[in-house]
Structure 1
Amino acid sequence: MSESPANSPMTAVVCHAPNDYRVERVERPRPGRNELVIRIAACGICASDCKCYAGAKMFWGGASPWVKAPVIPGHEFFGYVEELGEGAAAHFGVSIGERVIAEQIVPCCKCRYCKSGQYWMCEVHNIFGFQREVADGGMAEYMRIPATAIVHKIPLGISLEDAAIIEPLACAIHTVNRGDIQLDDVVVIAGAGPLGLMMTQVAHLKTPKKLVVVDLVDERLALASEYGADVIINRRKDDAIAIVRSITDQYGCDVYIETTGAPAGVPQGLEMIRKLGRFVEFSVFGEQTSVDWSIIGDRKELDLRGAHLGPYCYPIAIDLLARGLVTSKGIVTHGFSLEEWDEAIEVANSLDSIKVLMKPRHKERH
């Protein structure tokens, strides 16, 4: 006789400390009232996961560390509704077996930001995969979705790889929208990692006058070109600032989107952007960066904008993927089982990959 879900263990990656993530057998979650349990189909490894694994201070340091271990990591997940808690079907509008995704943040629904509709800036700020107070993340066979989570259905026509990039794609859409791209703008996207390549596809749909992508890896720049970049620049080989000035009558770009994850991307953008331009900062840095702030005010009067998460953008991401206007092809490069975590994080931390997915090996279902 098979074990019931109540006492059946599952395989998960568990974060205990920097560089101490273990594949363990843990208790399978059960849903409470208005909660779901989903069977994970895939969970991406984000750049923030890599920085967290490496022990970046922004995650572990300070009086209130962002990570509260032990916790199952993973916020780029999607899966199938496996169990419904009491009232959950009506609460979320879902049924057993449907493909769903929950937004990465679990709003508290009580703070000033949540009450005003700005839930992505929730003061409590529980995000799947970093704190266990609300729920663990998606690097496991099963995952509990709490009642205050924001859940979206995924149409069956969307492939596994495309479904797995909905979370970062929503972030990319929000970031591009923050740039307020106009038809006559020259737009620079600094960084051609997974997010930068998704931003390239989304920015291309905005049809700017020129779309420029800057990176250090030729293979990623070639992908950016396929995705609609008009100009690609390898900063190791060419003077990116000089090239951008040459195509803008020496003024500089109108919009600069920083998604390199490297502190050097910030001063590069401040020098590259024109006066009165729009600088959008998306990256999660592993270390501090410093700049001459007088550039922002006295010299250029820049419009400096941050971009955090993907608020109100999940339905847009799902629609763009369903219509084939954005793709994961070329971005999703590797897939590993949970048991292969050590290899997966090593590959994710290298330039051999772009997006790495964790795919649980579920037992045959009867």
Structure 2
Amino acid sequence: MTETMQAVICHGPEDYRLQEVPVPVPGPGEALVRVEAVGICASDLKCYHGAPKFWGDENRPAWAETEVIPGHEFVGEIVQIDAAGAARWGVGVGDRVVSEQIVPCWKCRYCLRGQYHMCKPHDLYGFKRRTPGAMAEFMVYPAEALVHKVSKDLPAAHAAFTEPLSCSLHAVERAGITFDDVVVVAGCGPIGLGMVAGARAKSPAHVIALDMAPEKLLLARECGADIVINIRDEDAQAIVMELTDGYGADVYLEGTGHPSAVPQGLNLLRKLGTYVEYGVFGSDVSVDWSIISDDKELDVRGAHLGPHCWPAAIRMLESGILPMDKICTHQLPLSDFQRGLDLVASGTESVKVSLIPS
């Protein structure tokens, strides 16, 4: 194996560079992995553009450090691992594996309670120097990482979709969907489409998808939505109210990160309904909180990462139930990382963009 590799390095907002760097060396209990595919996420884009919530301001610490390799949704093949790592994860050289985006400490209050996704001193692939990400030919899975096998029969870009799909499924779990529920999903990007599929798997009365792109609404139907609404041309609230005898939806899943989607959800929900927020916002959102309290007594829940949902996401991908060829719209070489970021930024030319380092 060569001693150097190509990798994308973050030098600051809008300053990512393809460089030749040393291949990382795994330590005790770690795994060296040849990266097969890495997806570009909306959070990657926000970091790239230097959004304050990611780069830090006086009220909030930076999420992304400089001199780090980005990329937190990925799949790869193990090329080196010691006996301790192989025994811990039940894997070996040649296995195809994914790793959850958070690397927990396993010692803090949250980790000890099984809530590892909220680990206080955690690392994150692609955001912290201690855990370089996957926009490179090789990467290391630390000993503290969570690692899962995935079928080699899947195209690499499809296997890398495990990360966003696990996030979607966690949001669905947070919603507590029941058989009689009318579920509304805002946004039909990668997260929203996974929410649609996860909600449909819970067998509610209806899964309603909202978006402004006709082609994404068609995809939502293929993922399990029985009703789709183009909010550019149709009145979503009128349609939902008519469908529910004027009560409103039982569950609203927000996956866009667009400020207008928040009041939209509060108004679409019935009294005692459930609002789940997954979107990452680039600006503050203001709403009438009396809708949540005095008017409707809503349950408002956040959702973060995809804890305990990775095995289910892998099973869903391996089942072939999702139209992954239509979701994974672009696969580019690592050298085209800038085009990949630009495609994600446009919002209209792609669904999921992946880089293929090899």
Fold in common (TM above 0.5)? yes
User: Does the residue aligned with 1:14 lie in a helix, a strand or coil?
Assistant: strand
Supply the distance in 2 between the matched residues of 1:96 and 1:228 (Cα, whole angstroms).
37
Tell me which residue corresponds to 2:204.
208
Deviation, 1:94, is: 1.4
Check conservation: 2:157, 2:331, Cα contact below 8 A.
no
Q: Confirm whether residue 56 of structure 1 aligns to residue 51 of structure 2.
A: yes
- 1:324 corresponds to 2:320: yes
**1:67 alignment partner in structure 2:** 64
1:153 equivalent in structure 2 = 149
Distance 1:187 1:117 in 2: 28
State the secondary structure of the residue aligned to 2:295: coil
Return the offset for 1:68: 1.1
CA displacement 1:148-203 (0-9 Å, x = unmatched): 00011112233323212111111111111111111111100000001111111121
TM-superposed deviation, 1:292: 1.0
Q: Which whole-Å CA distance do the structure 1 matches of 2:51 and 2:228 have between them?
A: 30
* Number of the residue aligned with 1:197: 193
Quick one: which amino acid aligns to residue 321 of structure 2?
L
Alignment correspondent of 2:184: 188
1:38 aligns with 2:29: no
Distance 2:132 2:185 in 1: 33
Aligned residue-pair number: 355
Aligned residue for 2:5? 10
How well do the aligned residues superpose, as a CA RMSD in angstroms?
A: 1.2
2:258 corresponds in structure 1 to 262
Equivalent position to 1:81, from 78, 81, 96? 78
Superposed CA offset, 1:282-306 (max 9, x none): 0011111111111111110001111
SS in 1 for 2:326: coil
Q: Distance in 2 between matches of 1:360 and 1:192?
A: 27
Note if 1:128 corresponds to 2:141: no
Structure 1 residue 236 and structure 2 residue 232: aligned? yes
Q: Which whole-Å CA distance do the structure 1 matches of 2:154 and 2:331 have between them?
A: 18
**Which deviates more, 46-55 or 251-260?**
46-55
Residues 39, 352 of structure 2: 8 Å contact kept? yes
Distance in 2 between residues matched to 1:187 and 1:150, nearest whole Å: 31
Does structure 1 conserve the Cα–Cα contact (< 8 Å) formed by 2:223 and 2:323?
no
Change (3 A) 1:354 1:259: same
Instruction: Confirm whether residue 355 of structure 1 aligns to residue 352 of structure 2.
Output: yes
In 2: Cα distance, 1:65 partner to 1:236 partner? 35
Structure 2: distance between partners of 1:186 and 1:78: 35
Query: Which residue of structure 2 aligns with residue 100 of structure 1?
Result: 97
Q: What are structure 1's unaligned runs of at least 5 residues? A: 362-366
Query: What is the Cα deviation at residue 86 of structure 1?
Result: 6.0
SS in 1 for 2:290: helix
Q: Counterparts of 1:145 and 1:158 in 2: how far apart (Å)?
A: 21
In the alignment, the residues of structure 1 paired with residue 349 and residue 333 of structure 2 have an alpha-carbon distance, to the nearest angstrom, of 18
Check the 8 A contact 1:162/1:327 in 2, yes or no. Answer: no
Q: Which amino acid aligns with 1:49?
A: D
| Residue aligning to 1:178 | 174
Task: Give the conservation status (yes or no) of the 8 Å contact 1:256–1:280.
Answer: yes
Superposed displacement of residue 53, structure 1: 1.1
- Supply the distance in 1 between the matched residues of 2:180 and 2:90 (Cα, whole angstroms): 42
- Paired with 1:170 and 1:61, the residues of 2 have a C-alpha distance of 27
TM-aligned CA deviation for residue 93 of structure 1 = 2.0
Structure having the higher helix fraction is 2
Deviation per residue, 1:37-56 (Å, 9 max, x gap)? 10000000011111111111
1:86-143 superposed Cα distances (whole Å, 9 cap, x missing partner): 632223221111100110000011110011110000011311100112x100110000
1:91 and 2:88 correspond: yes
Identical columns (%): 50
Q: Which amino acid aligns with 1:156?
A: K
Which amino acid is 1:12 matched to? A
From 312, 335, 344, give the equivalent of 1:339.
335
User: Corresponding residue for 1:308?
Assistant: 304
Equivalent position to 2:15, from 13, 20, 36? 20
Does the Cα contact within 8 Å between 1:262 and 1:285 map onto a contact in 2?
yes
The one-letter amino acid of 2:177's match is I
- Runs of 5+ consecutive residues of structure 2 not aligned to the other structure: none
What's 1:364 paired with? none
TM-score, length-scaled by structure 1: 0.94
Aligned with 2:78: secondary structure? strand
Q: Secondary structure at the match of 1:349?
A: helix
Given that residues 321 and 327 in structure 1 are in contact (C-alpha distance below 8 angstroms), is that contact kept between their aligned partners in structure 2?
A: no
